Chains A and B, each alone.
Chain A
Amino acid sequence: MLEDRYELAAGDKIPMRDGSFAVVEEKIGSGGQGAVYKVHYQGKKWALKWYFYEKIKHPHAFRNNLSVNIKDGAPENSDKFLWPKHLTEYVSVKGKYKTFGYLMDLAPAGYVELEKIYGRFEWKKPKVKGQKAIQVEYKFASLDAQVTAAINIVKAFRVLHLVGKSYQDLNLSGFFVNPQSGDVLICDCDNVAPDGENFGIGGYPGFMAPEIVRGVAKPDVLTDRYSLANVLFRLFMRSDPLEGKKVLQSVVLTEANDLKHYGKESLFIFDPNDASNCPVLGVHDNAIKLWKLYPPYIKEAFVKSFTAGLKNPNERIIEKTWQNLLIRLRSDIVHCTCGKVAYTTAFKHEEHFICTCSRCGSKIYTLQMKDMTAPLYPGLKLYRCYTEDEEDYETVTGEVIENKEHKGMFGIKNLSDKVWKAKFPDNEIHEVKPEYGVPIWKGLLIDFGNGIGGRILS
């Protein structure tokens, strides 16, 4: 009997509000507030989040809020949110209480939880008793995919915050990521509430803003921003931004130490004015190694987030700024013809805007578009946000390619639907129609239209 168990089992029929049932197929996950099952409803497979009722502090208000979210739909109807779609009816459990759940879309194949990529390895119990535990490895396929994932996360939160809602429980397990492309789906949207309202969730340890840990604030847009910076830091530096020497010295993370190091006396591991919580060699090796590989504008953004922004919620970086910084970061990735891939920081800069590959000696020039710069290497993609007055960082409008008839001659191919004008090596201005290209040379100037231009920096 369904009513006799806390957990659901295959074949259980959950009553829905339209009078029909969702039929449970299997358990696919578990969290602090409930478990997730794959179910069949209205001819389609869904994910059912089924609450541990006693873990929800204000169940009626929580359910009402969920109902409002279902009615509102995902922000901007974005398909990047695995948004709540249908509420179930209440079901009585052991005569003690009634609980409920909601249906959302299942994450498609090929997506993994960001938490697993952060952890690098997942240990699973052995299939046969006495055998060794099984290690599963997770990682992004490319640096581009990793930065693209960061851009997608930031974009989703910008949209959510602009419709006046906060997410409240922002942490690495709230994202499904495609490690090949960097595409991101936001899951666990059930705590989303109008900014300033909270239905009981505090957040996830390690990701909560210090003022929540201290007990003086509840989750809202500003605490989301703290958690967002925390997620981005972990994504790039593979470390906890607040766990350094000072925290390690307390040896045991008791409840009181937790309150101290993540609340009252939290201190960034790379605080430029206080090195007492710096990362420790042998424990925080990822942070030590990766921090120095990032360009200064990214480090500055993290410093701001975890110094001024740690204490003053209004000083936290807004999503639009992160979006610009991260788009810039993506355009700072150099793919040298020899195969070396890294940010421009890992290349020699003998002349200001020309970097040299330390492995093969190739010179890589820099193209400036609007206020963006990008190293020019074969395969570099120009996005609509570079060449048009749009924020679209996904649609490719140009690409650096080698001319098929003249080997060794590289150019920018127009993949947009606009006609560009450019200064060719003959010093004349020519039209560059869609699907045509312009050779790259020292004096190259491109008019993308609408007053947006590109040039080689020298």
Chain B
Amino acid sequence: MTDMLEGFEFSDSDVMWNPEEWKKEEAPGLENENIDEEDFLDCLEPSKKSMTIFFLIDTSGSMKGTKIGTVNGTMEELLPELVEVGGNNADISIAALRYATTVTWITKEGPVPVKDYQIWPRQPAGGTTVMGAAFKELNHKLSRKEFMNKPSLSYAPVIFLMSDGVPSDDWQEGLNLLKQNSWYKYGLKIAVGIGSNPNMDVLREFTGRDELAIRAHGAKELRELIEFLVITSSKIGSQSMTLTDEGKELTEEDVAGGKEEQLVEAVKKDIMGEVDKSQDQVDFDAGW
């Protein structure tokens, strides 16, 4: 018996699990909580960041016919494509409004998670173009008290403006108001001008970057632009930045606008070359 213990390595000081530590391990009340294996394995989803894509859709009378038809058809095809974009990192929601003679939220209850929003209600067109009122309404909802009230952390929104014409109200007043809004300021703004008559100056002022206000002449171009811009900006918007190797301590100024820069790069590289401008597409404004 004594022989057997000889040369063994344990002494009380070697015991990693000493009584003092043992006492510490008695988390108060834990043993009464009926913890089981499933508690470790059946977790909730980890907290995800939320990101909202806002669509501001011009449904004025001039959009009637093929233009609104293409927008509706593209939105129908876009919704399923957005389901997988956020991955584990972000929950992506949709908030859409249409503006014509009045401003109406298509998503009446506020932003809807895209996984639950798979049926696009096709929008009719008719009336004037109250873009300024749309900006004001967006500004009102871009608030912690309104649409941006998720308890989880958010990424700045993607805001996508579509228009085929000239605003019929005071767009400048609305946009000035919107420009004061931090959600708008940090958000990724993109705009598509449809057909031959959009006021591109307004759209460029909305995005703040000339490269992010793009003209779509025909149906195929419009569909490809919407898809590309929404998916690319959602991907960039719903991820944290991978910073560049500057080799120096970065400041807030160094990183500010980094996502917008990424989006501009993507637009320059891919859209300018990719969108099909071939002759076989339906020109919205031909033959009138």
Contact = CB atoms under 8 A, between A and B. Distances in A.
B36 interface: yes
A286 B44 contact: yes
Contact of B115 (A133, A243, A373, A457): A133
B45 A119 contact: yes
A391 to B, nearest CB: 16
B148 to A, nearest CB: 8
Given A340-B36, A423-B1, A139 B25 contact: no
A376 interface: no
A212 B248 CA distance: 10
Interface of B is mostly: loop
Q: Which range contains the number of A residues in contact with the other chain?
A: 35 or more
B31 A453 contact: no
Given A205-B241, A252-B156, A130 B118 contact: yes
Given A129-B80, A240-B46, A296 B118 contact: no
B287 interface: no
A390 interface: no
Contacts of B22: 349, 352-353
B279 interface: no
Interface residues of B, number: 83
A133 B118 contact: yes
B278 interface: no
A140 interface: yes
B258 A142 contact: no
A280 B151 CA distance: 10
Contacts of A251: 144, 148, 153-154
Contacts of A353: 17, 22
B245 A259 contact: no
B152 to A, nearest CB: 5
A92 B10 CA distance: 66
B240 A262 contact: yes
Interface string A422-437: 0100010100000000
A135 B118 CA distance: 14
Contacts of B45: 119-121
A126 B82 CA distance: 11
Interface stretch (B83-91, B193-201, B218-226): B83-91
Contact of A143 (B5, B40, B269): B40
Contacts of B244: 202, 215
B246 A421 contact: no
Contacts of A290: 39-40, 43
B280 interface: no
Contacts of A247: 153
A256 B76 CA distance: 35
5 nearest CB pairs, A to B: A205-B240, A341-B37, A119-B88, A133-B115, A346-B35
6 contacts: A238-B46, A251-B154, A254-B256, A259-B255, A283-B47, A346-B31
Interface of A: 32, 54, 57, 115-116, 118-121, 123-126, 129-133, 135, 139-140, 142-143, 146, 172, 198, 200, 202-206, 212-216, 218, 234, 238-240, 243, 247-248, 250-256, 258-260, 262-263, 280, 282-286, 289-290, 292-293, 295-297, 328, 340-342, 344-349, 352-353, 358-359, 366, 368, 370-373, 421, 423, 427, 429, 445, 447, 451-453, 455, 457
Interface of B: 1, 3-5, 7-10, 14-17, 19, 21-27, 30-37, 39-47, 49, 76-77, 80-81, 83-84, 87-89, 114-116, 118-119, 144, 148, 151-156, 182-183, 186, 239-250, 252, 254-259, 269
